[in-house]
Amino acid sequence: MAAQRTLRRTVHCAGIGLHSGQKVTVSLKPAPADSGVRFRRVDLRGAVEIRAHVSQLGARQHLQTGLVSERATVETVEHLLAALCSLGVDNVCVELNHAEVPIMDGSSAPWVYLIQDAGIKELAAERRVIQILRPIQVQQDDKRIAIYPSDRFKVSYTISFDHPLLRLQQKTMELDEQVFANEIAPARTFGFLKEVEMLRQRGLALGGSLENAVVLGETGVLNPLRFEDEFVRHKILDVVGDLALVGHPLVGHLVVHRGGHALHTALAVEIVRQRDAWQFVEQPDAVVRGVRVPAAMTQPTVSAS
């Protein structure tokens, strides 16, 4: 059976918070079996830890996914969680000196690179996977998300916006480490130029730029795309990161129509709540193929210890 995994060594990087605009330093550190992913705010007295779990979700998930404890918050966790989950890192301590995980280039590709640089270490504990037994679904107006029984993890995602380039995009993918790293991780977050000033007046998107987001004007994109359908690919990235808050890998077919962080995390809450809809299974051992982010994608400056 497959073993739980952590990082082989500690790695460090720095970046800018998308909404705060503040410089943030991050360290990814090995952690023991069954500890899960934990964020550690080292800028606070006592170095507060926040578990990456649905039980720690903030009150409102809109432009990002945030976690809270009695003493602290950590925000914009989804891109890092997507990379950790998809590369099979079960246990890690994420130390940071600010409330917001840096946006890097707006995708998960820099985090994939960082995890690869740290290396993967197997632990003496078996990994347990959640296998979906019956459908679990959430609907909010015309937005829908559901997960159905399947023998593998698959995502079908549809987006629809009132914009010439985004009227409708749909994609279905079976995800494993290789597919995520090459086909999903490089897809960047996106936003609309007409909304930027409004967001900044509300104290949001202060660190946003063409270096870390795809920006859409009235009739086109202001910076080159990495994929023709980069927008829906990034939505798949987001939902993978948000559902990582369930705490275990999922085996099921995820279907999303016009989703966002609030809808994604609502399903994560329902999965944990509806305990009769799934069962724990031990993941069969498998040969893990080497995963490499395409060289053209942004790589962070990394230091190790």
Q: Which residue numbers are catalytic?
A: 261
Is residue 290 a contact partner of residue 176, using CB atoms and an 8 Å limit?
no
Rounded-to-integer distance, Cα 286 and Cα 33, Å: 19
Q: How far, in Å, CA of 187 to CA of 106, rounded?
A: 8
Q: Do residues 64 and 56 lie in contact, with contact meaning Cβ atoms separated by under 8 Å?
A: no
257: Cβ contacts below 8 Å, ≥ 6 apart: 142, 143, 144, 145, 158
**Phi, psi dihedral angles at 113 (to 5 degrees):** -60, -45
Distance CA 64, CA 205 (A): 11
Q: Tokens 């800018």 — which residue?
A: 16
In the three-class reduction of DSSP (H, G, I as helix; E, B as strand; rest coil), residue 239 is classed as helix
The per-type count for the chain, helices as H runs and strands as E runs, is: 6, 20
**HEC assignment per residue over 283-304:** CCCCCCCCCCCCCCCCCCCCEE
Contact partners, residue 43, CB within 8 Å, separation at least 6: 96, 97, 98
Q: From the centroid of its chain, how far is CA 108?
A: 7
Question: Three-state DSSP class for 25?
Answer: strand
| Distance, CA of 260 to CA of 262 (rounded, Å) | 6
